[in-house]
Structure 1
Amino acid sequence: MPKKKNPTPVRVNILFFSVFILFSLLILRLGIVQIVHGEDYKREINRKEDVTINNPVPRGKMLDRNHKVIVDNKPLNAITYTNEGASQKEMLEVAAKLARIIDKDTDKVRERDMKDFWMIKNPEEAEKLIKTKELELFKNKKLKNKDLYKLQIKRITEKHLSQLTKQDIEELAIFSIMNSGYKFVPQIIKNKDVTRKEFAVVNENLALLPGVNAATDWDREYKFEDTFKPVLGRITTSSEGLPAERLDYFMSRGYTRNDRVGKSYLELEYEDVLQGKKEKVVNVTDKSGELLEKELVSEGQRGKDLVLSIDMDLQLAVEEIIEKELWAAKNSPGTALLDSAYVVLMNPNTGEILTMAGKKIVKDEKTKEVFLEDDALGNISKTFNVGSVVKGATVLTGYKEGAINSSTRFDDRALEIKDTPIKKSYSYLGTPNDIEALKLSSNVFMFHTAIQIGKGVYRYQQSLNLDPKVWDKIRNSFATFGLGIRTGIDLPNEQTGAKGANYPVGKVLDLVIGQYDTYSNMQLAQYISTIANGGYRMQPRIVKEIREPSNNGEELGPIYKSFPPNVLNDIDIKDQWLERVHTGFKKVMQEPGGTAYRYFSTASYSPAGKTGTAEAFYDGQFRVKGEKLIQTMNLSLVGYAPHDNPEIAMAVIVPWAYQGNVDHGANKKIGRAVMDAYFNMKNGTKEPADETAE
């Protein structure tokens, strides 16, 4: 019987043959790809390059505590140019066409730019400015291209430049902007006073103006005009772009060089949230830089909104009060140096600043016109001798150091210390205790307190021999109230004040009555708030919360971040000590004999506070060069209300208020009117201050 053939080898052969055919087809396909289409694919791969562009968006708004818009964005018609790979010649052609359509400001065109432009416009004439022997030197490599260029620039005369027409200069102004920008970064050619006709004609001719666009730009709009504007801050212009001193910082965060950014105060302090999220567009180009297509990666989102703690209605009312009382005070004798006044209203329990106002009298040197300008920043940037308003801190320091107690009384007779001018109160006040010393504003009580803190003994016509550590004890204690240190307010450029020398040690007597170290009005507001709220130094805040931008322009977006009250420190005192200061401050304003009784006795809101008058030296704008410092008087006032449950704290400074003996009381008049304004607005009334307060 014959053997059957095994079918396995046949199947294996078929399998191998199939594999051979498949590999042959694969090799054939690879050959076609590499040999036939290889160059095409290579060109396709090499021709594309992605460039991501971040287009700016409008900044966030600023609103007051009642959600009234303070700073908004005003849309502007704008003509822009984006270099999408154009040559210099192509840009010049576009600039020439654009110059015939729009009027372009030429104020920033420099003579050097005009010379370069003349050379571009007149290349043959420019070549003739080079002498034959200079060309020979160039050929012999004894002169370089830059040397020939310098010679040409030097030899271009006014006659040459006069060949440039008005339109040529406009063309140059436009070309300079085009040529200064980075590739694919929009440059603003014009965004101020773009007429409807200019905007429409450019829009109709975009096909003839490659890279040009008729777009919408924006600018900051201030709803309350100049009110509070210095605190709101400034942004750079499109021509300024990023500030040179912070260029690396901004560039590392995705900004472009011509981005507008916060330049000062709130705009600067909150730049990160106000700037917004830029629109991202990917430009696909070939290797030569020619634009192939654009792709939107992500839509932009305007910046987040700041809700301020400021009440703009109250701010306006306080500014009006300052203006009225400042001009009225100028009618008093001895006020030639009086030029400013400052007010801060603060919630003592939260640190929120409701009002930060300041006005300064200035004189235009050309027109000789005298007018008031906003100086709200003077509340943090200027410091003064403030006088007796600090006596509350002196009394509480005396308690902490064991120098005085509730039974302490000092004879108010003047102190006569060896080699020292007589130290006294404004008149003899008997033998006051701490409460009476605050009410009557006894200097001598504070002098004796400082002597006790310094472990000294007062003896007629002898030296005090105080412990030098008395300076640190008192200043460190004052600092717990916010005097002489940064308050922590969310604004840059806050000044802490000047500290007098620690010698002779007897000068510490001036320190405890506010006539030695200098303090800002914001420090006074923090100090009186610390006393008003029970001993907690609160961080002052201008920004209450940050909100996400809303889709509906009329509504606020959700809260992105809020700022809860921040306690910086506790002054670490006993309640009974603080209560005695509260009582003394209440008597200042509500009891006959109190230094502010005449102005506040009729107030229905139960105020408490302390007045201050300080001998100072004028160093303001009217000082003649080389002239010695002029002695004058600073006026101040701190207060809060109601005295038993404070909801508002106030600080007022009127520097260089008067010379001589006629006190016009502007600090107290301003203070009474400001407190009235606050409580009237709270109660929904507009009643003026009681006439007896005048």
Structure 2
Amino acid sequence: MTTKNKKTKSNHLPIRLNILFFLVFLLFSALILRLGVVQIVQGEEFQEQLERTINVSVPIDAPRGLMYDRYGNILVDNELQFTVTYTNRKTPQLEMIETARKLNEFVTIESRRTERDLREYWALLNHDEYIELMSIEEESELELSNAEAHTARLDRIPEEEIDALQEDEYEMQVYSLWREFNTGYNDLPHKVAQGITYEQAALIMENLEHLPGVDIIRDAERKYIYGDSLRRVFGNVGSIQRDNIDYYLANGYLRNEQVGTSYIEAQYESVLRGRNGRLENFMDQDGNFLRNPEEHVGSRGNDLVLTFDMELQQHVEKAIKDTVESERYYSQFVGDPDAYVVMMEPHTGDILAMAGYRDEANRNVLTTFTGSFEMGSAIKGATVLAGFDSGVFAPGDRVWDRTMNLSGGGTISSHTTLGSVDHLTALERSSNIYMVYVAMRLIGYSPGVSSSWGNYYRGYDILRDYYAQFGLGVPTGIDLPNESAGINGGNIPEPGRLLYLSFGQFDTYTPMQLAQYVATIANDGYRVAPRVVKEIREPSRDRNELGQISQQVEPKILNSLDMDPWYIDEVKKGFHRVTHGNQGTARSFFADRPYDAAGKTGTAQVFVDGKPANNQTFVAFAPYDNPEVAIAVVVPGISNQASASGAANTISQKVLDAYFDLKEERRGPLNWDEDLLEDEEDDEDEEESE
């Protein structure tokens, strides 16, 4: 390249840079000019517009987390629905009533009728008559405040006026909407009617301009896939109660949010709660939208994997129902038919199934841990171990089982005279007298030798301290609220009561405590807290697949029995003889079963409505050599006649059969709406063919 060409190119470069700098200068000048116009010329106009702009943020409820069983079957789902909301922006009451009348053309609801609210509503509808109930002069003479005068006028409304109002069906429909409008908080949407139809929602949306404060949103309600199974345990979702409002506000909730109000929904509220979204509306002071709303999307709450096996749960419920309603047992109940089952893994505390015979409200499943009963001989394993560990008995020691006369009158005996019994025979044949000797020796009393019972109060404390190590008479530690610890009968100044305590006919225990007791024996003396939640999972895009694990709930060992393991093994042998021994009280139910169960029967003599009855109980674990399931069955208030015997054993056999059958073959839980009804029809057809 020549020197001349190089100079030519060098001259072109500064020219291009100058042009570029000039263009940048022009752009900056234009930008500065525009900013000046906006700031100086139009500044006041924009400031006024900004001040006129109202930013209304409307929360969008996020769905709650789902609940799955241990095999990934959805138990509690969310179902999208249309919901009518009302936002009370300090609206005058008459305007509110007018809106309620218009909304009533599209949707009707039922609201609670209270005397005060009915009188308030009448006063609004009949303002002149309301004022005439107390003259201004009388109000002045009595020196009443406006609030006091208002209350006085309301009290003077004739009862016949309120009765007539309540007989007016149309006005009661409007009243219900008006009352619901007033239930919510100011400036926050309040859910008035949930689950309306698509057609109703469409009509309301077409008329929103005539319904100030009313809106239609899409939210979710809880859907229970398997009907009433465990429904009460799952708990409820509802509005924040006023007594708890400060707690929730401090934790970032809005006043109108839905929260868990009972059981799992309440216990795991912080986990199940979704992260709410919001809709930002930009309006002028006249309520006109200035631009499209901005939506900030929320997210579903975390999911819970529960310990329940829903397929097994359905088998347990069926076993209870079929047994209780059978021709043999249904007429044998002294009071209302009743039965409870708890099944758990002894090593982890996982509750596999828990059920009660359903009453109309399906409350009985909760009684498995909130209600208590005298359990009878089922607790004798704990009494035997108390005798061994305290040193008042050694394995192999024998006593003579026969009727014992009490010093204060009365007698104690086993169901029959058993003669010479050791601990194994005492468990196999259910000797009350062996247990009585444990209690007497704990306080140093020897029948026929001791002149007095001495400090027998100490015996109550010693026995209860031992029972507590198995979970009897103390909280089990289950991860559900409202658990009962049973009823402690106290240290009654009657030695005979101490003796009854030793074989389960004084203090009361829950079915859950009974299950933990036998699980502790099956688990070689380790007491594990029952649990209903196994894992916390992040929500997944596909609801039929579990998300990533957020938290694995570890088993919680509450205590271990500080005693010789040999003693526990001896009690296990006694339990095995109950189900397999030649004279075992449950031999006819379990001796031929392939899963080799060990257990203990129980009968407590009680009174129901003043009539004598029995509480039948049974505890068991299986397989004997390597326990993987423990059960407690309670059938309270059944006849004490021989024809009623075996109800608890029958249920126990059915539920253990179901557990081990499911290990061989699973079909999955039956859908409540369709499959379960078809299955029941098939059972009825089979019964008819037989």
In structure 2, the residue corresponding to 1:383 is in which secondary structure?
coil
Distance 1:129 1:62, change over 3 A: same
Q: Which moved more, 1:638-647 or 1:567-576?
A: 567-576
In structure 1, the residue corresponding to 2:435 is in which secondary structure?
helix
Aligned residue for 1:365? none
Aligned residue for 2:21? none
Q: Which amino acid aligns with 1:490?
A: D
2:204 to 197, 202, 205: 202
Cα-to-partner distance string for 1:614-661 (whole Å, 9 max, x where unaligned): 11232xxxx3xxxxx433211111001110000110111111121345
Aligned residue for 2:61? 56
Aligned residue for 1:21? none
Structure 1 contact 129–155 (Cα < 8 Å) conserved: no
Q: Which amino acid aligns with 2:193?
A: K
Identity %: 35
Report the Cα distance in structure 2 between the residues aligned to 1:334 and 1:147, rounded to whole angstroms. 61
In the alignment, structure 1 residue 587 sits paired with structure 2 residue 599: no
Q: Which amino acid aligns with 2:225?
A: K
1:451: Cα distance to partner?
A: 2.1
Aligned residue for 1:279? 277
Q: Which amino acid aligns with 1:339?
A: P
Cα-to-partner distance string for 1:542-598 (whole Å, 9 max, x where unaligned): 111122222223322222222111111001121211111111111110121111111
Report the Cα distance in structure 1 between the residues aligned to 2:456 and 2:163, rounded to whole angstroms. 80
Structure 2 contact 72–545 (Cα < 8 Å) conserved: no
1:487: Cα distance to partner?
A: 0.4
Cα-to-partner distance string for 1:357-383 (whole Å, 9 max, x where unaligned): 1115x6xxxxxxxx7955111111211
In structure 2, the residue corresponding to 1:220 is in which secondary structure?
strand
Structure 1 contact 305–546 (Cα < 8 Å) conserved: yes
Structure 1 contact 356–376 (Cα < 8 Å) conserved: yes
2:470 to 463, 478, 481: 481
Structure 2 contact 165–172 (Cα < 8 Å) conserved: no
In structure 1, the residue corresponding to 2:648 is in which secondary structure?
helix
In the alignment, structure 1 residue 388 sits paired with structure 2 residue 388: no
Distance 1:98 1:424, change over 3 A: closer
2:592 to 592, 602, 605: 602
Aligned residue for 1:494? 483
In the alignment, structure 1 residue 446 sits paired with structure 2 residue 431: no
Cα-to-partner distance string for 1:271-307 (whole Å, 9 max, x where unaligned): 2222211114456677999986786584211222222
Cα-to-partner distance string for 1:368-414 (whole Å, 9 max, x where unaligned): xxx79551111112111111111111111111111112242222233
Cα-to-partner distance string for 1:63-117 (whole Å, 9 max, x where unaligned): 21112122212222223233568676765665554444x1323654667657656
Aligned residue for 2:539? 549
Aligned residue for 1:251? 249
Q: Which amino acid aligns with 1:197?
A: E
Report the Cα distance in structure 2 between the residues aligned to 1:182 and 1:656, rounded to whole angstroms. 49
1:138: Cα distance to partner?
A: 7.8
1:72 to 77, 81, 90: 77
Structure 2 contact 622–628 (Cα < 8 Å) conserved: yes
Report the Cα distance in structure 1 between the residues aligned to 2:434 and 2:140, rounded to whole angstroms. 92
Structure 2 contact 61–219 (Cα < 8 Å) conserved: no
Q: Which moved more, 1:174-183 or 1:488-497?
A: 174-183
1:309 to 281, 299, 307: 307
1:227 to 214, 226, 229: 229
In structure 2, the residue corresponding to 1:328 is in which secondary structure?
coil
| Runs (5+) with no aligned partner, structure 2 | 1-34, 668-682, 684-690
Cα-to-partner distance string for 1:308-357 (whole Å, 9 max, x where unaligned): 11111111111111111112376587543362011111101110011101
Report the Cα distance in structure 2 between the residues aligned to 1:82 and 1:220, rounded to whole angstroms. 24
Structure 1 contact 95–175 (Cα < 8 Å) conserved: yes
Report the Cα distance in structure 1 between the residues aligned to 2:542 and 2:513, rounded to whole angstroms. 40
Report the Cα distance in structure 2 between the residues aligned to 1:501 and 1:412, rounded to whole angstroms. 28
In the alignment, structure 1 residue 421 sits paired with structure 2 residue 410: yes
For 1:61-210, what aligned pairs fall within 5 Å after superposition? 61-83=66-88, 94-95=99-100, 97-100=102-105, 102-105=106-109, 107-108=111-112, 125=128, 129=132, 134=135, 145-146=146-147, 154=156, 158=161, 173-192=176-195, 194-207=196-209, 209-210=211-212
In the alignment, structure 1 residue 341 sits paired with structure 2 residue 339: yes
Structure 2 contact 119–162 (Cα < 8 Å) conserved: no
Distance 1:411 1:92, change over 3 A: closer
Report the Cα distance in structure 1 between the residues aligned to 2:142 and 2:503, rounded to whole angstroms. 79
Distance 1:459 1:291, change over 3 A: farther
1:569 to 559, 579, 590: 559
1:600: Cα distance to partner?
A: 0.9
For 1:394-433, what aligned pairs fall within 5 Å after superposition? 394-433=383-422
1:202: Cα distance to partner?
A: 2.4
Distance 1:177 1:519, change over 3 A: closer
Distance 1:427 1:333, change over 3 A: farther
Q: Which amino acid aligns with 1:222?
A: Y
Report the Cα distance in structure 1 between the residues aligned to 2:218 and 2:267, rounded to whole angstroms. 27
1:525: Cα distance to partner?
A: 0.4
Q: Which amino acid aligns with 1:322?
A: I
Cα-to-partner distance string for 1:467-506 (whole Å, 9 max, x where unaligned): 5422222211110111110101111111111222322244
In the alignment, structure 1 residue 633 sits paired with structure 2 residue 636: no
Structure 1 contact 418–461 (Cα < 8 Å) conserved: no
1:57: Cα distance to partner?
A: 2.0
In the alignment, structure 1 residue 668 sits paired with structure 2 residue 649: yes
In the alignment, structure 1 residue 643 sits paired with structure 2 residue 627: no
In structure 2, the residue corresponding to 1:261 is in which secondary structure?
strand
| TM-score, normalised by the number of residues in structure 1 | 0.81
Structure 1 contact 85–289 (Cα < 8 Å) conserved: no
Report the Cα distance in structure 1 between the residues aligned to 2:392 and 2:548, rounded to whole angstroms. 53
Report the Cα distance in structure 1 between the residues aligned to 2:327 and 2:203, rounded to whole angstroms. 58
Q: Which amino acid aligns with 1:395?
A: V
Report the Cα distance in structure 1 between the residues aligned to 2:153 and 2:524, rounded to whole angstroms. 77
Report the Cα distance in structure 2 between the residues aligned to 1:548 and 1:274, rounded to whole angstroms. 10
Structure 1 contact 228–374 (Cα < 8 Å) conserved: no
Structure 1 contact 84–289 (Cα < 8 Å) conserved: no
| TM-score, normalised by the number of residues in structure 2 | 0.81
Report the Cα distance in structure 2 between the residues aligned to 1:328 and 1:67, rounded to whole angstroms. 34
| Aligned-residue RMSD, C-alpha | 3.8
